[in-house]
A and B are shown apart, each in its own frame.
Chain A
Amino acid sequence: MNKNMERIYNGIVKENPVFIMMLGMCPALAVTTSVTNALGMGACTIAVLVISNIVISLVRNIIPDEVRLPAFIVIVASFVTIVELVMKAYFVELNASLGVYIPLIVVNCIILGRAEAYASKNAPLLSAMDGIGMGLGFTVGIVAIAFFRELFGNGTVCGFQVMPSFYPPVSLLVKAPGAFLVLGFIVMAMNAMNIKTQANKKVEEGCDGGCAACGVADTCDKKEAKA
Chain B
Amino acid sequence: MSGQTSLIMIIIGAALVNNVVLSQFLGICSFLGVSSQIKNSAGLGGAVIFVITIASAVANLLYTFVLDPLGLDYLQTIVFIIVIAALVQVVEMFLKKTMPALYTALGIYLPLITTNCAVLGVALNNVSDGYNFIQSVVSGFGTGVGYTIAIVLLAGIRESLEGNDIPKPVKGAPLVLFCATLMGMAFYGFSTLG
Q: How far is the CA of A107 from the CA of B188 in the complex (A)?
A: 26
Partner of A107, one of B117, B171, B180, B185: B117
Is B22 in contact with A176, judged by CB distance below 8 angstroms? yes
Given contacts A70-B85, A180-B178, contact A29 B25 (CB under 8 A): yes
Determine if A179 is an interface residue (Cβ-Cβ < 8 Å). Answer: yes
**Residues from chain B with Cβ under 8 Å of A30 in the complex:** 24-26
> Is B116 touching A107 in the complex (CB atoms < 8 A)?
yes
B80: shortest Cβ distance to chain A, in Å?
Answer: 8
A104-B124, A183-B177, A187-B173 known; A78-B117 Cβ under 8 A: no
Find the A residue at minimum CB distance from B128. A100
Q: What separation, in Å, do the CA atoms of A185 and B117 have in the docked complex?
A: 25
Decide if A44 is an interface residue (CB 8 Å cutoff).
no
B28 touches A25 (CB 8 A): yes
The stretch from A6-14, A79-87, A162-170 touching chain B is: A79-87
Is there a chain A Cβ closer than 8 Å to B120's Cβ? Answer: yes
Q: Is the contact region of chain A dominated by helix, strand, or loop, or is it mixed?
A: helix
- A185 near B184: Cβ-Cβ < 8 Å: no
> A224 to B125, alpha carbons, bound, how many Å?
58
Known A172-B185, A180-B184; judge A74-B78 contact (CB<8 A). yes
Given A188-B174, A219-B168, CB of A103 within 8 Å of CB of B124: yes
State how many residues of chain A have any CB contact under 8 Å with chain B.
43
Interface string of B51-78 (1 = CB under 8 A from A): 0000000000000000000000011111
How far is it, in angstroms, between the C-alpha of A76 and the C-alpha of B178 when the chains are bound?
33
Chain B residues with CB under 8 A of A177: 22, 180-185, 188
B161 in the interface (beta carbon within 8 A) = no
Contacts of A180 in B (CB 8 A): 177-178, 180-181, 184
Within 8 A of B (CB), among A41-83: 70, 73-74, 77-78, 80-81
B168 touching A73, Cβ below 8 Å: no
A184 engages B181 (CB within 8 Å): yes
CB within 8 Å of A: which of B168-194?
Answer: 168-175, 177-178, 180-185, 188
Please indicate the chain B residues that have their CB under 8 angstroms from the CB of A106 in the complex.
Answer: 77, 81, 120
24 A-B Cβ contacts within 8 A? Answer: A25-B32, A26-B25, A26-B26, A29-B25, A29-B28, A77-B78, A77-B81, A77-B82, A100-B125, A106-B81, A107-B117, A108-B117, A176-B184, A177-B180, A177-B183, A177-B184, A178-B181, A179-B25, A180-B178, A184-B180, A184-B181, A187-B174, A191-B174, A218-B168
Binding site for A on B (CB under 8 A): 22-29, 32, 74-78, 81-82, 85, 115-117, 120-121, 124-125, 128, 168-175, 177-178, 180-185, 188
Closest 8 CB pairs of A and B: A177-B184, A184-B177, A192-B169, A25-B28, A188-B174, A30-B25, A191-B169, A180-B181
